[in-house]
Structure 1
């Protein structure tokens, strides 16, 4: 496989053969659902709109379907795989199917929730089919730890994609929506059918595109605590929901009013900018 050649991408028979060779049985614990459709991985790479000189982080490469599609498109791919059997096999799979591109791949056997920028070589983009069970925590961790990561395209459970990209007032707008909005603009860009996975999952999948935005002028930890408090009791007004956070309902109302937010509103109606204003007005941006 060379640049522009996609003939070596993995198909259904390749995926099953590799899994059988390795004795791999996809597990729900690790959120393993392997993509076996070449058209899908081509579509993902195209939607990511990568630059030739990008260093791409891939989380959960599995048997290498997406990895093989990424390698012709960018200068370097760093793949983080928690399963040691899969991590050991991936470089060999690439060497066998794309020998001219094997030098672009670095595999890190580790947990994506614990990796650091130094381990990964400061990637500029994330492109990944994320394990369903940890998708939001992984995205938030990587956005926090990798300031060089300017954009991301992630495949997640469709309902999670909706929450990640939701705006104020939406029924699914919640804590993940606000925390991701702190870092980036999120937009759902495509639906992915269940049939392209092995084993076939019980839920639909979707692609979410994240574009990093300038860091807001407030302390992230304090703002995230505020967001958690605001959504802990969704049916309550902010005056009531933030009583413990502020010290009392009256203090909460005073802070909200000074921040230009109506105390009778609810947390799901506020933008991340509103939460920044409240955090700053509370004097909690420098704990």
Structure 2
């Protein structure tokens, strides 16, 4: 009985999806944790005060644009954004960086160009739509966000230690914390991959507007690393370019894995508000940009 269960196609698919999510995400999570530790222990708060405009409304687009210089995926941007908030960066700016960095960095844009060699507009559309969503969400938080929605993890074991001890303590703390939520998110994403029938998505591809919503939802369920998602989107030949754009914009900003990691980094009260709002804004912007470009 157990042998039959372990050998079933569903279990093999679940295992493949779970392992691929964790393997894809772990190197970038490690990179993000290391960068987060550097920010938390080596960079003085005065650096951010001088690097960003004093007005939070102007700091948001600057922070979003700075995401272009971090070669990583969404798993690495979560701990970095948490470190930015702890170092005094306005939450609105840190969230704009969190959303923009995984989608507009050079590695992701080059991968998108390779995946869509016959349609360079996809690269421009992805970068433009992602920046617009990041800036809008930063401004939305500035307008409606509340500080008591965010609960950063306790780091009393790190604070007050010598720099190098604090660095390694920060690495251990963030890796254990974010890694645990990565595993939880990977389990959820793998389960959804097995449970949701593929024929449902194929049927939705026949409707221009439902196809956009379908691929946006698929991006949430699949939880693919932003450096690999363009190749998956390109393989979905039954869907329109606008639907593929929604897949590429939504996925790096909110998926099952990210929801779990954002809950761990900022608290569940934040995640249950920020996640759905991000999905709605990303979906609307993707549809609008796709309508203009194609």
TM beyond 0.5? no
Greater fraction of residues in strand:
1
TM-score normalised according to structure 2 size: 0.23
Q: Which has the larger radius of gyration?
A: 1
Greater fraction of residues in helix:
2
TM-score normalised according to structure 1 size: 0.24
